[in-house]
Amino acid sequence: MKLRAATRGSPLARWQAEHVAGLLQRAVPDIDVDLVFVDTLGDRARDRPIHELGGQGVFVKEVQAAVLAGDADFAVHSAKDLPSTAAPGLTIAAVPERGDPRDCLVGLALDEIALGATIATGAVRRRAQLAHVRPDLEFTELRGNIQTRLAKVPAGGAIVMAVAALQRLELSDLIAEAFSPSQFVPQVAQGALAVECREDDDATRALLATVQHAASRAAVDGERAFLAALGGGCDLPVGAHVTPAGGEWRCEGLIADLDGTTVLRHVELGSVVEALGQKVARALLAQGGAALLARS
């Protein structure tokens, strides 16, 4: 039995697709998975900030199109790159066990960075949270694949990366400081993978379900529900993190303004994870988050 997996061609995207292929082959030994490499707008326009390209979706639309056109049976994405609402005709068939959701610095740790030094990051969420605790810092854009970004560490400063990305490429030794989710709220679904297929492809959906990790799926669904309730994407200074909490779920959400002057957080516990994410989003909007997002 053969399946075709659509993926971007970067080393990290390839690792992700091969990881899912390995999980599938362990669950269903007679499956072979061929990779179908797709070039995306986010890959081609590396000199422009993501929010200028249209924000969330710039790394997935062409990959999704390959699945919809029948050129691939499923796609493997960084779950954080997916818009908060499903693309017509596609469904997230599985979320494998989540990796580390944390952000980290490569270069110097935060307390080692001198006043007025530079941090490079392409994410407004990361910039806002860092500026909130270190308003003296200067910020510059950061785009490109992992190796390209690692080559752009500012002298005397740092770049911000996802811990999971460095772990997957065996580059964890480069981490100068990793921030706990309670220090810096992660991007929605950071560290998780999303395996997407055609909604009407029941056979492929059943096979992909074998790599589902229930707790990771629930956390990702709750965080995506938070984002959907805000009506935004990764181009906004927002974040959420869902974790199990004694038989319930805990969701912490964040909305900030772009310069980090105001950072709003809200935490709730609940038993229905998607409703919980929506509740946290509504609470933040009511606390002034709606005005912050309108200015972003």
- Domain with residue 204: its CATH number is 3.40.190.10
Please check whether residue 187 lies inside any domain of the structure.
no
Same domain, 86 and 7: yes
pLDDT of residue 45: 45
pLDDT of residue 103: 98
d(CA 101, CA 233): 17
pLDDT of residue 51: 47
Query: Which residue segment(s) compose the domain that 205 sits in?
Result: 2-96+192-212
Same domain, 90 and 107: no
Same domain, 252 and 115: no
Give the CATH number for residue 285.
3.30.160.40
More confident position, 250 or 41: 250
Same domain, 80 and 129: no
Same domain, 26 and 138: no
Q: How far is CA 92 from CA 145, 217, 228, 263, 286, in A?
A: 25, 10, 15, 31, 30
pLDDT of residue 294: 86
Same domain, 243 and 198: no
pLDDT in tens, 95-132: 999 999 999 999 999 999 999 999 999 999 999 999 99
Same domain, 7 and 129: no
Please check whether residue 220 lies inside any domain of the structure.
no
Same domain, 208 and 136: no
Q: What residues contact residue 96 under an 8 Å CB cut-off, 6+ apart?
A: 19, 20, 23, 192, 193, 195, 211, 212, 213, 216
The amino acid sitting at 160 is V
Same domain, 152 and 115: yes
Please check whether residue 186 lies inside any domain of the structure.
no
pLDDT in tens, 229-282: 998 655 689 999 999 999 999 999 999 999 999 999 999 999 999 999 999 999
pLDDT of residue 42 exceeding 60, the answer is: no
Tokens of 264: 């709003």
Positions marked catalytic: 81
Tokens of 136: 């003296």
d(CA 66, CA 33): 16
Please check whether residue 219 lies inside any domain of the structure.
no
Same domain, 82 and 198: yes
Same domain, 7 and 90: yes
Please check whether residue 281 lies inside any domain of the structure.
yes
pLDDT-based confidence at residue 53 (cuts at 50, 70, 90) = very low
Q: How far is CA 61 from CA 40, 146, 205, in A?
A: 7, 21, 20
Triad 248, 253, 258: Cα angle to 5°: 170
| Structural domains of the chain, count | 3
Same domain, 197 and 79: yes
Please check whether residue 279 lies inside any domain of the structure.
yes
d(CA 114, CA 8): 37
pLDDT in tens, 196-212: 999 999 999 999 999 99
Cβ-contact 36, 67 below 8 angstroms: no
